Structure 1
Amino acid sequence: MKRKSTILFGIAVVGLAAIAVFTQKQVSEAPVDGLSFMGEPVTTDEIARGQEVYAANCASCHGASLGGQPDWKRRLDTGRMPAPPHDESGHTWHHADRDLFTITKLGVGGVVPGYESDMPAYEGVLTDEEIRAVLVFIKSTWPDRERAFQANVTANDQGGS
């Protein structure tokens, strides 16, 4: 009888653990309300992954807190612009998802041909999924007003701005 109770207890523990893992997976894979990327839903897992990729690849120029470089509106001695902030104080939220993706993947020249920038192209460095995750993370930090404005710009995008 004691062995049967031990086995039943073990099965119950394994069952509860499986439910906990399944529930956590459902929560982390659930779409985040009010946030999408190119019309597709975004998950909390994707935001967390984007934060990691941002920290490893973007924060050195754009700041750990997305604040950009000092005097980001004033040209450097090279004639190029400093890295702008990606928080609500910058202008990232003025651009459609497609343009943000293209700038990240191909560099600013991918959207503005001939424009010289210190922004590297991340094609071959980051996967498309990683670029999307970084942009999703950035968007997740914006206040509702900026997020709504950017969603409208994205909805009205006809292939570039």
Structure 2
Amino acid sequence: MRMRILAVIALAPVAQPLSAAEQAGFLPWRDPAAVAQGQQIYGEYCAACHGAGLEGQADWQVRDEDGYLPAPPHDPSGHTWHHPDQQLFDITKYGIEAMVGGGYRSHMSGFADVLTDAEIAATLAYIKSTWPPRVIEIHDQINARAAVK
């Protein structure tokens, strides 16, 4: 019996150590189950505005006639990856108006009453999992700088 247990342990994959920058973030973007859950949640709650392919709405940087900005992309062409995990989490949970304040207007309401914290993190993990390695590396560095403050 002891030999079988050792054999299983010996065959288990060895996790790669995370860099300090990767450790600063908290999104479970390397967890396939969390990413799959996040993809499903994104499709249900986010894709209608942010696009099924994370492409956002057209002219997302130009306010409409009512003063609202269209939904931005969450792919590398957007600015999602410019923000640390905690800020992305807070925007998603509480809504952009609550985070920016000062009368800022947005169609992006918070999901605090709709999604659990784990579901929000999974959704953001899905988004992050779609970015190319260089963007993920930069995002991890942004998380590290935010953690130092």
Per-residue deviation, 1:113: 1.5
Q: Sort the Cα spacing of 1:72 and 1:85 in 2 relative to 1 into closer, same or farther, 3 A.
A: same
| Matching of residue 97 in structure 1 with residue 85 in structure 2 | yes
SS at structure 2 position matched to 1:56? helix
Is 1:150 matched up with 2:135?
A: no
Q: Bigger relative contact order, structure 1 or 2, given CA contacts below 8 A and separation 6+? A: 2
**Which of 141-150 and 46-55 deviates more?**
141-150
Structure 2 counterpart of 1:124? 113
**1:69-108 equivalent positions in 2, closer than 5 A:** 69-108=57-96
- 1:69-112 deviation per Cα after TM superposition (whole angstroms, max 9, x unaligned): 01111111111100000000100000000000000000013321
1:67 is the counterpart of 2:55: yes
Paired AA for residue 113 in structure 2: G
Q: 1:63 to 1:40 in 2, by over 3 A?
A: closer
CA RMSD, 1 decimal: 2.5
C-alpha distance in structure 2 between counterparts of 1:59 and 1:36, whole Å: 29
Give the percent of matched residue pairs that are identical in Structure 1 and Structure 2: 45
- Whether 1:133 aligns to 2:122 is yes
Q: Can you give the 5+ residue segments of structure 2 that lack an aligned partner in the other structure? A: 1-11
Contact 2:27 2:122 in 1 (8 A): no
Equivalent residues of 1:102, 1:110 under 8 A apart: no
Contact 2:35 2:126 in 1 (8 A): yes
Which of the pair is proportionally richer in strand?
1
Change (3 A) 1:63 1:97: same
Checking the alignment, whether the CA contact within 8 Å between 2:24 and 2:147 is kept in structure 1 is: no
Are the equivalent residues in 1 in contact too, given 2:60–2:70 (CA < 8 A)?
yes
4+ aligned runs moved over 2 Å, structure 1: 33-42
Aligned residues: 132
- Give the superposition deviation at 1:43: 0.8
- One-letter identity of the residue aligned with 2:136: R
User: Is the 2:68–2:107 contact (alpha carbons within 8 Å) kept by the matching residues of 1?
Assistant: yes
Instruction: Please report the TM-score for the alignment, with normalisation by the length of structure 1.
Output: 0.74
Structure 1: stretches of 5+ with no match in the other structure: 1-25
Structure 2 SS opposite 1:83: coil
Measured in 2, the distance between the counterparts of 1:76 and 1:156 equals 34
CA contact (8 A) 2:84 2:143 kept: yes
Amino acid at match of 1:140: S
Give distance in 2, aligned partners of 1:117 and 1:48. 28
SS of the aligned residue for 2:100 comes to coil
| 1:38 counterpart = 2:55 | no
- The question of whether the paired residues in 1 share the 8 Å contact of 2:25 and 2:143 is answered with yes
